[in-house]
Chain A
Amino acid sequence: MTPPTTTAGGARPEVSYRAKDETGGLERVYVWDAVVRLTHWIIMLAILIQAVTGIYIGRPFFIPAGAEDQQFVMGTMKVVHSYTAIVFTLAVLVRVGWMFVGSYYARWHQFVPASARRRRDVWSMLKFYTFLSREPPLNVGHNPLAGLTYLLVFALYFTMIVTGLALYSVGAGVSYMKMWDFLLPILGGAQTARWIHHIAMWLLLGFFAHHIWSAILVSRSEGHGLIDSMFSGYKFLPRSWRKRDE
């Protein structure tokens, strides 16, 4: 087993990279820049807050006793939900913009499997998840299947934002929020918008469960500090691996 090297002249070598290619030792590679990490955690927190308040708004499970002018439970939930939605929307927009101006591993090609190798690795990753292979394909940034999944997740984010704006426009008091009511007929009415908003939330929560488990699983399988990297920005990779993507 020899550590992979790039051939002179810059042509990409057809080398099979494996988790065991660690004989050359590990190096600390800066993968996730500050914007990627910040938006990741802001979006996660925003989704959790919105899921909790949103589930209450959809099905108010707690009913306070006493005079109605002494309580503001639903009102508070809606205020928190709406303000968090602003943070969430801005964070998503920043992250999507960052796909075009950010650092290498923040860019759109990490999500869209545009190259043949990334398309191939989508299947390798599926094989790994279905126990058909023991080795996850190794990538410095997102593995291509994960990148593809995150594209769907971003589609869900936009579904939430669009239906949320439409639903907010129903009772909006200011013109720049009221104007979003043009979305209502497009979405098939407010009731259907609500219904889509609920489905998208459960899909996001389903993704949330999947994301945590697969992050733990892949982190353990790869052994490169995947979860830590979302805090520090650094992965620990076998030497010269990063050349694979550059």
Chain B
Amino acid sequence: MDGPTSDLCRELEARGVSRREFLGFCSAMAVMIGLPKSAAAAIADALENKPKPTLVWLEFQDCAGNTESFLRSSKPSAAEVVLDLLSIDYHETIMAAAGHRAEEALESVVKNKQGQYIAVVEGSIPTGANGAYCTIGGKSALQIANEVCSNAAAVIAVGTCATFGGLPAASPNPTGALGVADAVPGIKTQINLSACPVNAENLTATVVYFLTYGRWPATDALNRPLFAYGKSIHDNCERRAHYDSGQYVEQWGDEAHRQGHCLYKMGCKGPVSFQNCPNVGWNDNTSWPIACGHGCIGCAEPDFWDKMTPFYAHLPGFPGFGKASNIDKVGFWGTVGVAAAFGTHTLIHLGKKLVGSGGEDKPADPTKGSEGGDA
């Protein structure tokens, strides 16, 4: 190989990532976005030669789980190099600068690169108490989000907190937390990458797509890229055959559980959750929740903490009967109740008629007028 020709090549070499590995990464990205393998060359070309956009990473009400997910590769991978090479001018967790210096970096990006930078947002934005629940450098999260997101070329909301409010917005939502789109209305381009945390592969693929084509991938109604959120977990699940055949785990650790049968009866939310976990996996595709024998909790869906709970039950409870109540039990006994009520009604009716007509089951005497029996 000749000497490195671009920043990316130099960086790959310095980190010990081979050219072969880099091209393998480009192929994987092409496949993930849903392009033919031949697109890998275009991706490699774009990554090597196109100017890198500036990126700022904002953290609000979050646990830094998305940052962790994104930084915790087991070895320096091509993906990491690509993301590192994005000019990350502001990221509270990994930046060297602190205090006023850090805030200056953010301000200069907003001022000097208006409409050109990408803002990645992690964590929900509290709106209660005038935003006092989350302040950075004397400004509330809401102020910062308004300044930074409305001047960005595009906003990528990573994790369920930033996209839909997530855990902080779960009932009763004490801080008035909102997702970015709700807190900062009027953002022109927003890509939502929900999940708790975001899958770093999906973030990388979204950025690679943008670098290659200069536009953002097609999205669903919730602004999530279709390549990652176009299919339900259930439809790609490796245990799907057990679902269709009717073989279910009924208790943790039972024989079916040991055999790897379907977790549907244990409250798996795979059928109502959209993400590509079964295909892409987590932690360098070592595993994912259902492969470890635990049902999906639907973390990528709006309000999942309110709507997908109880995590180990098929459906939420019935209002007034408690969160853990079983709607089908309530419904069953309700139906039995209705049947019993009408049965009793008929018995009373027949009883009254028997009394009224002297015990004979015959039509009432028409000459008796309105006071007569009525059957």
B314 at the A/B interface (Cβ < 8 Å)? Answer: yes
Interface pair A59/B269, CB less than 8 Å apart: no
B248 at the A/B interface (Cβ < 8 Å)? Answer: yes
B343 at the A/B interface (Cβ < 8 Å)? Answer: yes
Interface pair A75/B221, CB less than 8 Å apart: no
A-side contacts of B93, CB under 8 Å:
none
**Cα–Cα distance between A223 and B221 once the two chains are bound (Å):** 56
Interface pair A23/B366, CB less than 8 Å apart: yes
Interface pair A68/B269, CB less than 8 Å apart: no
B49 at the A/B interface (Cβ < 8 Å)? Answer: no
B358 at the A/B interface (Cβ < 8 Å)? Answer: no
Distance (whole angstroms) from the CB of A79 to the closest CB of chain B: 10
Interface pair B331/A170, CB less than 8 Å apart: no
Interface pair B346/A213, CB less than 8 Å apart: yes
With contacts A23-B366, A171-B234, A210-B342 known, is A75 near B245, CB below 8 A?
yes
**Cα–Cα distance between A210 and B339 once the two chains are bound (Å):** 6
A176 at the A/B interface (Cβ < 8 Å)? Answer: no
Q: How many A-B residue pairs have CB under 8 A?
A: 157
B130 at the A/B interface (Cβ < 8 Å)? Answer: no
Interface pair A60/B302, CB less than 8 Å apart: no
**Cα–Cα distance between A5 and B217 once the two chains are bound (Å):** 75
A199 at the A/B interface (Cβ < 8 Å)? Answer: yes
Interface pair A217/B245, CB less than 8 Å apart: no
**Cα–Cα distance between A1 and B367 once the two chains are bound (Å):** 8
Distance (whole angstroms) from the CB of B218 to the closest CB of chain A: 14
User: Which parts of B358-375 form the interface with A (CB within 8 Å)?
Assistant: 363-364, 366-370, 372-375
A135 at the A/B interface (Cβ < 8 Å)? Answer: yes
B144 at the A/B interface (Cβ < 8 Å)? Answer: no
Distance (whole angstroms) from the CB of B265 to the closest CB of chain A: 6
A64 at the A/B interface (Cβ < 8 Å)? Answer: yes
User: Which parts of B232-279 form the interface with A (CB within 8 Å)?
Assistant: 232, 234-235, 241-248, 250, 256, 261, 264-265, 269, 271-273
Distance (whole angstroms) from the CB of A211 to the closest CB of chain B: 9
With contacts A170-B271, A189-B307 known, is A20 near B364, CB below 8 A?
yes
Q: Which residue of A lies closest to B330 (CB)?
A: A202
B345 at the A/B interface (Cβ < 8 Å)? Answer: yes
A198 at the A/B interface (Cβ < 8 Å)? Answer: yes
With contacts A69-B241, A189-B307, A206-B335 known, is A63 near B374, CB below 8 A?
no
Interface residues on B, range: 35 or more
A-side contacts of B122, CB under 8 Å:
none
B-side contacts of A223, CB under 8 Å:
363, 375
Which residue, A129, A136, A171, has most C-beta atoms of chain B within 10 A?
A171
With contacts A189-B302, A201-B331, A202-B331 known, is A71 near B247, CB below 8 A?
yes
Stretch at the interface among A32-40, A42-50, A106-114, A179-187: A179-187
Distance (whole angstroms) from the CB of A80 to the closest CB of chain B: 13
B81 at the A/B interface (Cβ < 8 Å)? Answer: no
User: Which parts of A150-195 form the interface with B (CB within 8 Å)?
Assistant: 170-171, 181-182, 184-185, 188-195
B316 at the A/B interface (Cβ < 8 Å)? Answer: yes
Complex partner residue of A198 from B235, B315, B363, B368, CB under 8 angstroms: B315
B327 at the A/B interface (Cβ < 8 Å)? Answer: yes
**Cα–Cα distance between A75 and B334 once the two chains are bound (Å):** 29
Interface pair B334/A195, CB less than 8 Å apart: no
**Cα–Cα distance between A18 and B367 once the two chains are bound (Å):** 12
B-side contacts of A188, CB under 8 Å:
303, 307
B-side contacts of A55, CB under 8 Å:
328
With contacts A19-B374, A202-B334, A209-B339 known, is A184 near B221, CB below 8 A?
yes
Chain A contact residues: over half helix, strand or loop, or mixed?
A: helix
A10 at the A/B interface (Cβ < 8 Å)? Answer: no
B301 at the A/B interface (Cβ < 8 Å)? Answer: yes
A-side contacts of B342, CB under 8 Å:
209-210, 213-214, 217
**Cα–Cα distance between A201 and B273 once the two chains are bound (Å):** 23
**Cα–Cα distance between A220 and B363 once the two chains are bound (Å):** 9
A-side contacts of B330, CB under 8 Å:
202
- Complex interface bits, B69-99 against A, C-beta within 8 A gives 1, otherwise 0: 0000000000000000000000000000000
B-side contacts of A68, CB under 8 Å:
241-242, 244-245, 247, 261
A73 at the A/B interface (Cβ < 8 Å)? Answer: yes
A120 at the A/B interface (Cβ < 8 Å)? Answer: no
User: Which parts of B320-346 form the interface with A (CB within 8 Å)?
Assistant: 327-328, 330-332, 334-335, 338-339, 342-343, 345-346
Distance (whole angstroms) from the CB of B11 to the closest CB of chain A: 41
With contacts A18-B370, A74-B244, A191-B272 known, is A185 near B265, CB below 8 A?
no
User: Which parts of A129-143 form the interface with B (CB within 8 Å)?
Assistant: 129, 131, 134-136
Which chain B residues have a beta carbon within 8 Å of chain A's beta carbons? 220-222, 232, 234-235, 241-248, 250, 256, 261, 264-265, 269, 271-273, 298, 301-303, 307-308, 314-316, 318, 327-328, 330-332, 334-335, 338-339, 342-343, 345-346, 348-349, 352, 363-364, 366-370, 372-375
The 13 sampled A-B contact pairs (Cβ below 8 Å) are: A19-B364, A20-B369, A63-B246, A68-B247, A135-B370, A170-B235, A190-B301, A195-B327, A198-B331, A205-B331, A209-B338, A213-B342, A216-B346
